[in-house]
Structure 1
Amino acid sequence: MMKKILQRWCTDHEIPLMGVADATRWRGEVPEEYHPDSIYPGCRSVIVIGLPIHLPSLESSPSIQYAEMYRTVNSLLDQYTYRIAERLNQAGFPSVSIPRDGYGGIEALIKNPVAFFSHRHAAYLAGLGTFGLNNMVLTPAYGPRVRFGSVLTTAVIEPDPIREDELCTRCMECVTACPVRAVSSEGYPEGKTNKQACAKYSASLSRKGISPCGICIKVCPIGSDRILYGREDTGIYRKEGGDPALQRAWEHIRRHGAL
């Protein structure tokens, strides 16, 4: 019953993705201090919501257009997860939302490139997607072009099954497109993304006001959003042999807004 109420609320608020994970699923996945019931003792379930990054905003990345979209989606996730937690609190189930970005800016990530809670792992354990080579969670509808937010709750809610299929095709687009070669071709969890290299590049973009990078998620061919926008061919992002009209549009955007 509670799960249906939450699903209906998400539908009414244009939140396309929602999943639930039992708090015990983190065991064996990440160190104990990152478990939801370590962060919030008494947690029984984790509710995860996902909002898409609209592909045309992302395609000009790194740019002010994508940077603003990124901030907007993060803000919405913080607001929605707060409201879900408060709804549960008022129903008598102590709950707390986790901030979308649990770190004090990109410089903090250079010092320690790990947040205190992983929304990506929460999304995976809530059945919303599977990990790709770029260590991002890929979803059927949007590929890796989704931002996730989480609510830790004492309520026992029916969990969703973890996906058993493999969405990543190992096409290597994210590996070859990464400007700092931070993506491993071995995949998660064997291959580790070079978080330091990624963070340092993001810091350089932040100084220009156009962070984050976003390249590894825009070139990923997974996601039905590509069909919606007519972007099935990821070759359009290559400087050689790409779409001239789109390239001109993206270059126009990149010429504006950066410091």
Structure 2
Amino acid sequence: MSLTEELRRYAESLRLDFIGFCSVDALNEAPEDRRPNAYLRDAVSVISIGYKLNYASIQNLPKSRSTYMLEHDYANRHLDEASHLITRFLEKREFQAIGFDSGAGFYHEARKTPKEIAADISHKHAAVACGLGKFGLNNLVISPDWGSRVRWATVITDAAFEYDHPLGENPCLTGECEECVKICPVHALDGWKGKYDPERGWVIDKKKRYDYVFVTLEGQRCGMCIKACPIGLNKPI
């Protein structure tokens, strides 16, 4: 059995819903200090893992915001444990590996200005490069079967794998839909035209988003653009 297949089976045993592989070269457009080789010099591969968020806690927002936060935090903890166990899996086979926590961008946001918000490594770009989805207008990864109701984490390693191809068709309906743009309570997605790229995403209005999450919602997640996305609606878990 190849290492790729072995790790896919292990990921399934960890109750992960998504796993994909790509070369570190796929993330070379990231700022130099946030590329995989900035953290692990000999890294050659990126592993993206994903865990679905339960449907009802999202689709009943904003009333279900407290349960959505519980769901969000549980998914992050589950991914953090899984990325840790995957690094152990690889180290036992004499490879080096580093896992990045799924909530890195969120837990440090409150200490930064809106312009400074950035995770150590972009889980979203990693997921897209590993063929697990495309960026939507909400600047979240949209998977064909579950929309943007997924949390992501990333592992980098010097182990080589059979790499996945980027997703072909873009699941986001873009200009034919715009439901995420319409539902945003602070209009943080209004400026997407001419900026949105399904492979690279785009820079939403971080100031509006920051103020809404950390002032209006007192640190709770919003989730309304995830709720509004028609991709993956009514899919069984």
Fold-level match, TM-score > 0.5? yes
Q: Which residue among 228, 231, 236 is the counterpart of 1:222?
A: 231
Contact persistence 2:137–2:180 (CA under 8 A): yes
RMSD: 1.8
Distance in 2 of aligned mates of 1:32 and 1:216:
30
Q: Which moved more, 1:76-85 or 1:98-107?
A: 98-107
Is 1:163 the equivalent of 2:171?
A: no
**Structure 2 residues without counterparts, runs of 5 or longer:** none
SS in 2 for 1:48: strand
Unaligned runs of 5+ in 1: 230-259
Corresponding residue number in structure 1 for 2:150:
146
SS in 2 for 1:77: helix
* Structure-1 residue corresponding to 2:214: 203
Cα shift readout 1:101-125 (whole Å, capped 9, x = no counterpart): 2244441244522112110000001
Structure 1 stretch displaced more, 179-188 or 39-48: 179-188
Single out whichever of 123-132 and 196-205 deviates more from structure 2: 196-205
1:1-259 equivalences under 5 Å are 1-27=2-28, 29-62=29-62, 63-103=65-105, 104-111=107-114, 112-170=116-174, 171-183=177-189, 184-186=191-193, 187-188=196-197, 189=200, 191-207=202-218, 211-223=220-232, 225-228=233-236
Q: Which residue number in structure 2 is paired with residue 251 of structure 1?
A: none
Q: Normalising by the residue count of structure 1, what TM-score does the alignment of the two structures yield?
A: 0.81
Identity %: 30
Give the secondary-structure state (helix, strand or coil) at the position aligned to 2:180.
helix
Q: How many residues get paired?
A: 225
TM-score of the aligned structures, taking structure 2 as reference length: 0.89
Give the conservation status (yes or no) of the 8 Å contact 1:167–1:222: yes
- The CA deviation at 1:205 is 4.9
For 1:233, the equivalent position in structure 2 comes to: none
Q: Which residue of 2 aligns with 1:241?
A: none
